[in-house]
Amino acid sequence: MRAVDQETPVYLHRLPVSGEDRYACLALVNSRFRVSHGQVDLLDGAEAAHLWLVRHGLLPDRVPVNGRQAGRLCALREALRALFEAYERGAPPPAEALDALNAALAAAPATPRLVWSAEGPRRGDVPDDGNPAAAALSLLAEDATELLTGGDAAQLAECAAQGCERWFLRSHGARRWCTTQCGNRVRAARAYAARKSTSP
Res. 196 pLDDT band, cuts 50 70 90: low
Give the residue ranges of DSSP H helices in 108-200.
132-149, 180-198
* 102-157: pLDDT as tens digits: 999 998 877 888 989 899 999 887 777 788 999 999 999 999 999 999 999 999 99
**Residue 1 to residue 199: CA distance in whole angstroms:** 54
Domains and CATH numbers, the chain: 18-198 (1.10.3300.10)
pLDDT bin (cut points 50, 70, 90) of residue 189 is: low
Q: How many C-beta atoms surround the C-beta of residue 161 within 10 A?
A: 20
pLDDT band at 2 (very low <50, low <70, confident <90, very high): very low
Cα dist. 187→33, 78, 162, 166, 190 in Å?
20, 30, 12, 18, 5
Task: Give CA–CA dist 160/153, Å, rounded.
Answer: 17
Radius of gyration of the chain (CA): 19
> How far is it, in rounded angstroms, from Cα 66 to Cα 118?
39
- pLDDT for residue 5 is more than 50: no
Distance CA 43, CA 49 (A): 5
